[in-house]
Structure 1
Amino acid sequence: MALICANFSRIVEQLNPKNTILVTGATGLVGSQIIQMLDPTACKIIGLARNPPEYPGESLSNHPNDRPNDKIDWIQCDILDVVALEKALKGVTHVYHAAGLVSFDPKMKDQVMKINVEGTANVVNACIKNGVQKLLHVSSVAAIGEAKSAKNLIHEKLEWNDHGASDYGKSKYLGEIEVWRGLCEGLDAVVINPSIIIGAGDWNIGSTAMFKSVYDEFPWYTEGVHGFVDVEDVAKAAIDLMNSGVVGERFIINGANISYKFLFDLIADGFSKPRPGKKVTPLLAEFVWRIKYLKGKLTGKPSILNKNTARTALSICEYDNSKLKKVLPEFSFMPIKETVERTCNLLKEKYEL
Structure 2
Amino acid sequence: MQVFVTGASGFVGTHVATVLMEKGYRVRALVRQPDRAPHLRTLGVEVVQGDLVHSDLVPLMQGCQALFHVAAHYSLWRRERDRLYQVNVVGTQRVLAAAQQAGVERTVYTSSVAAIGVDPSGKPATERYQSPPDKLISEYKRSKYWAEQAAHKAVATGQDIVIVNPSTPIGAWDAKPTPTGDMILRFLRRQMPFYVETGLNLIHVRDVAIGHVLALEKGRTGDRYILGHQNLTLGEILNRLAALTGLPPPRGAIPVWLPLAIAWIDEVVLGALGTPPRIPVDGVRMAQQTMFYDATKAVQELGLPQTPIDQALAEAVAWYRDRGYCH
TM-score (norm 1): 0.84
1:78 Cα deviation (Å)?
0.4
Match of 2:214 in 1: 240
Among residues 9, 16, 19, which one is paired with 1:34 in the alignment?
16
Distance 2:125 2:58 in 1: 36
Distance 1:220 1:55 in 2: 36
Q: Which deviates the most, 206-215 or 141-150?
A: 206-215
Report how many aligned residue pairs link the two structures: 322
Match of 2:151 in 1: 179
Match of 1:3 in 2: none
Runs of at least 5 residues in structure 2 that lack an aligned partner in the other structure: none
| Residue 76 of structure 1 pairs with residue 49 of structure 2 | yes
Contact 2:133 2:145 in 1 (8 A): no
1:271 Cα deviation (Å)?
4.9
Contact 1:135 1:189 in 2 (8 A): yes
| Residue 126 of structure 1 pairs with residue 98 of structure 2 | yes
CA separation of 1:104 and 1:187: change in aligned 2, threshold 3 A? same
Among residues 298, 309, 320, which one is paired with 1:336 in the alignment?
309
Distance 1:310 1:258 in 2: 18
CA separation of 1:220 and 1:164: change in aligned 2, threshold 3 A? farther
CA separation of 1:204 and 1:146: change in aligned 2, threshold 3 A? closer
Match of 2:197 in 1: 223
Match of 1:279 in 2: 253
Contact 1:24 1:48 in 2 (8 A): yes
Over 6 Å off, 4+ runs: none
**Identical counterparts, % of pairs:** 25
Among residues 259, 283, 287, which one is paired with 2:233 in the alignment?
259
- SS state at 2:175 partner: coil
Match of 1:153 in 2: 124
CA separation of 1:73 and 1:290: change in aligned 2, threshold 3 A? same
Q: Which deviates the most, 208-217 or 181-190?
A: 208-217
Distance 1:306 1:157 in 2: 30
- SS state at 1:116 partner: helix
Distance 1:136 1:259 in 2: 30
Q: Which deviates the most, 141-150 or 38-47?
A: 38-47
Match of 1:199 in 2: 171
One-letter amino acid of the structure 1 residue matched with residue 25 of structure 2:
C
Distance 1:55 1:228 in 2: 26
Runs of at least 5 residues in structure 1 that lack an aligned partner in the other structure: 1-18, 61-66
| Residue 300 of structure 1 pairs with residue 275 of structure 2 | yes
CA separation of 1:258 and 1:205: change in aligned 2, threshold 3 A? closer
One-letter amino acid of the structure 2 residue matched with residue 157 of structure 1:
R
Distance 1:279 1:40 in 2: 42
| Residue 320 of structure 1 pairs with residue 275 of structure 2 | no
One-letter amino acid of the structure 1 residue matched with residue 228 of structure 2:
N
Q: Which aligned pairs between 1:92-171 and structure 2 lie closer than 5 A?
A: 92-150=64-122, 152-165=123-136, 166-171=138-143
- SS state at 2:263 partner: helix
CA separation of 1:251 and 1:296: change in aligned 2, threshold 3 A? farther
1:209 Cα deviation (Å)?
1.7
1:172 Cα deviation (Å)?
0.5
Distance 1:40 1:195 in 2: 24
1:294 Cα deviation (Å)?
6.3
| Residue 46 of structure 1 pairs with residue 21 of structure 2 | no
1:36 Cα deviation (Å)?
0.8
Distance 1:179 1:41 in 2: 26
Distance 2:276 2:186 in 1: 13
- SS state at 1:39 partner: helix
1:285 Cα deviation (Å)?
3.5
1:226 Cα deviation (Å)?
1.8
Contact 1:143 1:173 in 2 (8 A): yes
One-letter amino acid of the structure 2 residue matched with residue 44 of structure 1:
R
1:211 Cα deviation (Å)?
1.9
